[in-house]
Amino acid sequence: MDRTAATSGVPVRSGLVSPAAAGAPRAETASRPRLGAVARPAGAGVLSVRFGPGPGAFGVGQPLTAHLNHPVPQGDQQARVAVERGLLVTSVPHAGGSWHWVDARTLHFRPPSFWPAHAVITARGALDGVKITDGLYGGGSGALRITTGDRVEAVTDVARFSMTVYRNGQAIRTIPVTTGKEGYRTRTGVKVVLEKQPAIRMKGESIGIPKDSPDAYDLDVRHSVRVTWSGEYLHAAPWSADAHGRQNVSHGCTGMSSDHAAWLYRTLAPGDVIRVLNGPGSKMDAFGNGYGDWNLSWPQWQAGSALPPSPATEHTPAPAAPRMAPLF
């Protein structure tokens, strides 16, 4: 089934220093040095930055976010350059990457491909005292540190009614599934796990289905892994057991047996990668309904930056396991 009630929740390109010498990974700085700080005039506004998603361990698909307390309009290129140069990202091992402006207050950062497994990633602000505009100057900002675990990806082939889960490039389980039926097709493309809920009530009214409709539902659902804010999940669907591996009958979610769902719930973590292939559903939005950042090609992603592409990011080698890279 698809959406429960909607939940609110919801980067000018950076240069990089050279990768580490062979055998000795080191951090790369994903921003050019900040502009020189100056004395802030009396009465000037102060721009602060809040980094996301928050400290902790995440999957390799987790983008970084930067939320500004003042808008920086798209047309003010010089101001956006100043902001982006003051948003510093480092990772060990080296990953490369770029900021992308989602809107006037929000930027996302991601590498060309997913983060390396078992990486340490840090974001920090270097905007204190930097002039953004005549009436706006940078202020202090806290830092963010996250880590990644194994590279875990769940790939659903809609046409084959099947999901295969990979860990570090190796298939570890194949699960018969059912996805969205006509009128409720599951979104295709790359998604990222947002959160997990052991039990949740899902009702058709939350997506506009009247109570007296043949499509109406009101269910207590177990082992739910959320991938969109509008309510697309991977979850246990014992009521549709006859369709698993045979037919797509859901309202947009990916359903499976209770045993498989319990295992998947234990296996996946926020930031892990979900891919949906070979289906007729619309493509996952890049922004606004979860983390669809990976549905933009690398050139498309870099086009959302106010800085020119860095040669270091344009020549990032392809991942060793091509099937684990985002598909476009």
- Residues with a known catalytic role: 235, 253
Q: Amino acid identity of 167? A: R
Residue length of the chain: 328
